[in-house]
Amino acid sequence: MAIVFYSVLISLKHNVIWLRSSKSPLTLYELLFFSKYLSCMDFSSHLMILTIGKRIFSQKSLKRLYTTSTTINMSTGEKIGVPLKKVTEVLENFAPKQLSESWDNTGLLLEPYTARNISKILLTNDLTEDVALEAQDHGCEMIISYHPPIFSPLKSVVQRAWKERIVSLLLEKQISLYSPHTSWDSVRGGVNDWLASAFPVKESAPLVPGTDPQFGPGRLLQLASSISLSDAVTKVKQLTGLSHVRFALGKGKNMSSEVLTVALCAGSGSSVLKGVAADLYLTGEMLHHDVLDAAQKGISVILTNHSDSERGFLKGFSSKLQNLLNNEVQVFVSKVDKDPLVTL
């Protein structure tokens, strides 16, 4: 009888076992039965790696293998994590889909054919191939990408384009994909309110109120006390972690001029900010002529780059989501996700 080559990864630290084989999951009974074929043991990094047969795996390849595994609590025999449906319900309770713009593509975008519990989630602002591989290496069963990587309809899923390769990889590895995008822009406690937290805010209202005036894109801020333009730039840098921002000085103003009102919009703010009366505009990017128009009207402008006005929200939200899921799921923030533009 031919021996099926299994790879088994046991975490001693968390009392959890991940099982993976080339054909079918390895049961605990089978693990004991095949243990005499053990050929390699590695106790590094608090992990015991068992390789059965002649197939030898590197640490990196084992991490990739176990992303398609079943996660079991050895003391109870139950799966770790929560159903995908519960995660999507929690996400939509925080930011209902109806808050999304009509043109947007939000919600659950990819759902693997085989149902898996969600025990690890990766948050990212933009989903690239590197981020998808990062999620695989972490053993994540789900990615939440602020920007929807599937926006225009796909006519095929082949290897010629990077977005199609991501879809192919996620489906192969059974990783779900969710995108909230403009629902997070509109909701209270979302991306725009995170951006507003750079300032001492007295009052805040959406720039474009929806059916409920408390929700909508952008924010118009009345500050609790005036700050200088110089201080405003410093506060934005501190919040976003940026060493540089782009800045347009309003006509008749200087860096000591006071700011009492701020209009802001995470991402691309040209359409939302246009015509709004304020001392300062803050957004990720604006069209040249819209910046020029604002500056000529005496409104100063801070630009951070598109995704740099959004990405920082994820750090705080990771803890919030973990709490909303009763700490049954680990939530990570991507370390490779970054804005494609840099200042040289």
Numbered residues of the known binding site for a divalent metal cation: 147, 185, 306, 310
Q: Where are the beta strands (DSSP E) in the chain?
A: 6-11, 16-21, 38-42, 47-52, 70-73, 107-110, 120-124, 142-145, 176-179, 201-205, 219-228, 246-248, 258-268, 280-285, 300-303, 330-333
56 φ/ψ angles, rounded to the nearest 5 degrees: -105, 135
Mark the binding-site residues, compressed into ranges: 147, 185, 306, 310
For residues 70 and 75, what is the distance between their CA atoms, to the nearest angstrom? 15
Q: N- to C-terminal Cα distance for the chain?
A: 63
Residue ranges in the chain assigned as alpha helix (H): 28-34, 59-65, 84-94, 129-138, 162-172, 182-186, 191-196, 229-240, 270-273, 288-296, 313-324
267 φ/ψ angles, rounded to the nearest 5 degrees: 90, -125
Q: Is 124 helix (H, G, I), strand (E, B) or coil?
A: strand
Q: Give the residue carrying structure tokens 């047969």.
A: 53
Pairing label, strands 280-285, 258-268: parallel
Nearest residue to 60 via CA among 172, 119, 138, 141: 138
